Structure formats: structure tokens, C-alpha cells
């Protein structure tokens, strides 16, 4: 018997009749007439191919096959109820999970408002609204893709080419400095003009999503661009252990700058700022209150950090 919506309706009528022990008693529960109930029962018996019950002046009772069939119907509706309950639980659990995508190495940046937002989330918010949070470190392109296909709810990163389906809100500016090893030949140069001229032909490491912003005076295909990397850690490893120069976020490079393993080349001149955005799809946040709350808190933390800077 291949079930259809009509068959399920007939099974519900049958279940109600059995529970009420007769057509007449089932009228009120089903809110239909006894003649309609009788018609539904006839249809069901035609579908299953055997008689389900005896009805008439002698009263209502199930046939032996009807009793076995009724037990099967009870099990069927129990399974349906279990399915519905588990689906509701999955929907609820999905609502209670926030999927956050971020670019690498935000943990060392004290100016990133996400720090304060996460502290609030794991503190005040969690105490009232238990919610799970997953964090994935991804490239800017992967974050945008995740937001569009709904595998991510919120993204924090550097996005040069804004997608029309997404909303981007500026959070803060990340300061990048040009660095190299202390034994690099540029580290020995004291003449600003000579240093500026020499940079063009030095071997460089460039983050691919920065495109021309790190070295605007050369193309990505310039012979001096030795490596195009995906994240900050790849850049750092190549600069720390090879004859390369490259831009690193100052907060990330600070330990190596402090202990002398890296030097900043004319940081007052060779510096640029990368705008970090909070990105999301409005429709996604409308569906998930927890994700919306985290996004709003991140914006509040941004405002507080900006206020602190102004008053400092």
C-alpha cells in the first residue's frame, strides 16, 4: 500500500473510530457525519483489500485482520509523531547554533570588537539563552560563499569586492607594516630614498586577497612577487625564514618585532590600513535571533572601542 495524503486522512478516521468504539461516538471528535465516516471506512477497506470491522445493530467490532491492521496504524502514527518531534528538535537545535566565519589571526588584535562580543556571548547572553557557537577560520572568499549558501551566519574579514546579496558594516582598521629579517639587506639601509627605490625589486610575499593594496606600484605578475599566499601565517613563515619582505598586521608581528627577529621598514611611511568588516545576509539574521544578537553586540563593542579611542 503506497500511502498518499488521502490515505493518511483515512487512517486517522479509522484510528478515531477504533478509539471511540464506533461511528456514532467518533462524530464529535472528527466533526463529520456518520455517513461520511462510513464512506471513509469503505474507501479504506477498498485500499487495503480486506474488511476491517463489523458494524450494524450488533455494534462495532474489529475483524481479526482489522485488529492487526489497527496495531500497525498505531505504530505508524507513533513513528510519524517521533519524526515530527525529531524534526522540531533539529530545527530548534539549528536555531541555537551560530556559525561564525573569520579571517585568520584576529585573536592577537586588541582593537577587534569581536573580542568583547564573544566575552558577552559566553557570559551574559549564554546565562539567559543557551546557544552553541562554531567558529571557522576561512579566506574572505570562503566567508562570503558561506554567508550566501547559509552555512555561515556572520563573517568578519577584509572584503575588497562586496557581494550584492550581503551587507557589510565597517568594524575597524587593521594596521599593517612592511617587515623583513634583520639580516636582510634592506634592514641595513638608512637612506629613506634609497630604501624606497630598492623595495620595488625585492622578493615579496603578497596575500592574494589584498591584490594591489600591499604594493600598489607593482602588478601581481611582477617578477619580485615570489609568493601569493592565503593567510598571515604563511606570510610570516616565509618572511621569518627566507629572503623576503612583506606586510604583516602589526599586532600579529609584534612579538617578532619586540625580540628583534623582524624589523619594520620605515613604518611611518610603509604602512597601510586594511578595513575589517562585519558581513552578513539580512535574511539569515532574521531567521536566527542568537546570530542577530551576536552581530548587534559586535557593533556595540565597535562603538565603545571607537569612543575609547576618541577619549584616549
Q: What is the pLDDT of residue 188?
A: 87
Q: What is the pLDDT of residue 302?
A: 93
274, 207 contact by CB (below 8 A):
no
Q: What is the pLDDT of residue 311?
A: 37
Query: Within this chain, do residues 167 and 288 fall inside the same structural domain, yes or no?
Result: yes
For 24-74, the DSSP string reads HHHHHHHTS-HHHHHHHHHHHHHHHTS--EE-STT--EE-HHHHHHHHHHH
Strands 225-229 and 204-207, sheet pairing: parallel
Domain end (from 94, 128, 145): 94
Q: What is the pLDDT of residue 228?
A: 76
For 31-40, what is each residue's pLDDT tens digit?
888 889 989 9
Distance CA 156, CA 103 (A): 7
Task: Write out the chain's pLDDT in tens, 312 residues.
Answer: 566 776 888 999 999 999 888 888 888 778 888 889 989 999 999 989 999 998 777 788 899 999 999 999 999 988 988 887 777 666 555 556 899 999 999 999 999 999 999 999 999 888 777 788 999 999 999 999 999 999 999 999 999 889 999 999 999 999 999 999 999 999 988 888 888 888 888 888 887 766 566 675 655 556 667 677 788 899 999 999 999 999 999 999 999 999 999 999 988 888 889 899 999 999 989 888 899 999 999 999 999 887 754 333
Radius of gyration of the chain (CA): 33
Query: Within this chain, do residues 224 and 292 fall inside the same structural domain, yes or no?
Result: no
Query: Within this chain, do residues 179 and 254 fall inside the same structural domain, yes or no?
Result: yes
Query: By residue range, what is the domain housing residue 295?
Result: 96-172+275-311
Q: What is the pLDDT of residue 294?
A: 95
Nearest C-alpha neighbor of 280 from the set 169, 130, 114? 169
Query: Within this chain, do residues 283 and 154 fall inside the same structural domain, yes or no?
Result: yes
Domain end (from 94, 121, 143): 94
Query: Within this chain, do residues 280 and 163 fall inside the same structural domain, yes or no?
Result: yes
CATH number of the domain residue 184 falls in: 3.40.190.290
Amino acid at each position: 500500500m503506497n500511502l498518499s495524503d488521502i490515505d493518511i486522512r483515512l487512517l486517522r478516521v479509522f484510528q478515531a473510530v477504533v478509539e471511540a468504539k464506533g461511528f456514532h461516538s467518533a462524530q464529535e471528535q472528527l466533526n463529520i457525519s456518520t455517513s461520511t465516516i462510513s464512506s471513509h471506512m469503505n474507501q479504506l477497506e477498498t485500499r487495503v483489500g480486506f474488511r476491517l470491522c463489523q458494524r450494524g445493530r450488533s455494534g462495532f467490532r474489529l475483524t481479526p485482520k482489522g485488529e492487526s491492521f489497527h496495531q500497525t496504524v498505531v505504530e505508524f502514527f507513533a513513528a510519524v509523531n517521533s519524526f515530527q518531534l525529531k524534526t522540531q528538535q533539529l530545527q530548534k537545535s539549528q536555531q541555537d547554533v551560530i556559525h561564525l566565519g573569520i579571517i585568520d589571526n584576529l585573536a592577537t588584535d586588541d582593537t577587534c570588537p569581536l573580542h568583547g562580543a564573544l566575552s558577552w556571548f559566553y557570559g551574559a547572553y549564554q546565562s539567559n539563552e543557551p546557544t552553541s557557537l562554531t567558529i571557522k577560520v576561512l579566506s574572505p572568499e570562503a566567508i562570503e560563499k558561506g554567508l550566501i549558501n547559509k552555512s555561515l551566519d556572520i563573517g568578519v574579514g577584509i572584503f575588497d569586492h562586496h557581494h550584492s546579496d550581503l551587507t557589510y558594516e565597517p568594524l575597524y582598521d587593521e594596521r599593517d607594516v612592511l617587515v623583513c629579517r634583520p639580516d636582510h639587506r634592506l634592514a641595513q639601509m638608512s637612506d629613506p630614498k634609497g630604501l624606497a627605490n630598492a623595495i620595488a625589486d625585492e622578493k615579496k610575499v603578497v596575500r592574494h586577497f589584498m591584490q594591489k593594496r600591499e604594493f600598489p606600484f607593482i602588478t601581481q605578475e611582477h617578477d619580485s612577487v615570489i609568493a601569493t599566499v592565503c593567510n598571515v601565517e604563511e606570510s610570516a613563515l616565509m618572511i621569518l625564514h627566507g629572503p623576503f619582505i612583506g606586510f604583516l598586521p602589526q599586532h600579529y608581528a609584534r612579538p617578532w618585532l619586540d625580540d628583534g627577529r623582524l624589523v619594520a621598514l620605515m613604518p611611518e611611511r610603509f604602512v597601510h590600513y586594511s578595513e575589517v568588516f562585519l558581513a552578513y545576509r539580512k535574511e539569515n539574521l532574521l531567521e536566527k535571533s542568537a546570530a542577530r544578537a551576536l552581530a548587534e553586540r559586535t557593533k556595540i563593542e565597535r562603538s565603545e572601542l571607537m569612543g575609547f579611542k576618541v577619549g584616549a
